[in-house]
Amino acid sequence: MFKKKINIYSLILIVLVLTMTIIFYDKLPEEIPIHWNLKGEVDNYVSKPFGAFLSPLLMVAIWLGMKFLPNIDPRRHNYKKFESSYEIAIGVLVTFAFVLQMAIILSSLGYDISMDRIIMVMAGVMFVVIGNYLPKAKSNFFYGIKTPWTLSSEISWKKTHRLGGRLFVVSGLAIILSSLLFNETVRVVVMILTLLAVAIVPIWASYFYAKED
């Protein structure tokens, strides 16, 4: 039932974003902003047909891709054990792309949108939500913290994902707070430090956890 609800939620967002894009398409400029620097200033544009539908296509690709991957995973049987967590991850990624597209449309229509803050807040929320459910993930080849040691040791997998989940939550909260309360320099430093933490610490820890097996 939960899986069905998340699927419906994701599909509603996809249909809604496609509908909104089509409705506002004629009002959009010939060049659509798709990238902003750390000051929130646009530094890259693409043609309207591509820019307008980039995020909607990304949403479809995320949804279809993450639905397909478990079918080719040698450990596909494990997905049933953390199905709810996996579906939530899909929903979070689709939501991120949805908010991004809405912000792009508003920015293209001339509204003053602080894209750097929006992206950082959404990234922080994504970290917090995924971090809360990451410890529930079971061993697989596509989702989670995959190192030679987590994939070969059940103890390493469990402990690494427990640690990784905490790091994701703390990092997400730090990103959200810095994006709302501090200037761009602080935001950049926080983003770099948190990304390094979630990328390096779990990999390093997984090696030592595997030695306990």
What is the rounded distance in angstroms from the CA atom of residue 175 to the CA atom of residue 180?
9
Give residue 51's pLDDT. Answer: 86
**Do 127 and 89 form a contact (C-beta atoms < 8 A)?**
no
Residue indicated by tokens 């950049």: 188
Q: 47 is written with which tokens? A: 């043609």
pLDDT band at 19 (very low <50, low <70, confident <90, very high): very high
Give residue 12's pLDDT. Answer: 94
pLDDT band at 213 (very low <50, low <70, confident <90, very high): confident
Please give the model's pTM, rounded to 2 decimal places.
Answer: 0.89
The pLDDT tens digits of the residues spanning 135-173 come to 999 999 999 999 999 999 999 999 999 999 999 999 999
Burial group, residue 9, by CB count within 10 angstroms (0-12, 13-18, 19+): middle
Amino acid at 87: E
Which residues pair with residue 46 across a beta bridge? 32
Arithmetic mean of pLDDT, 101-120: 87
Nearest alpha-carbon partner for 208 in 156, 152, 167: 156
Give residue 43's pLDDT. Answer: 79
φ/ψ (deg, to 5) at 137: -65, 140
Number of domains in the chain: 1
Range of the domain at 180: 2-210
- If you write DSSP's letter for every residue of 93-132 in order, what string do you get? HHHHHHHHHHHHHHHHTT----HHHHHHHHHHHHHHHHHH
Helix (H, G, I), strand (E, B) or coil at 46: strand
Give residue 169's pLDDT. Answer: 98
Q: 30 is written with which tokens? A: 């010939």
Helix (H, G, I), strand (E, B) or coil at 151: helix
The pLDDT tens digits of the residues spanning 28-57 come to 889 888 777 766 677 788 898 888 898 899
Helix (H, G, I), strand (E, B) or coil at 211: coil
pLDDT at 71 over 80: yes
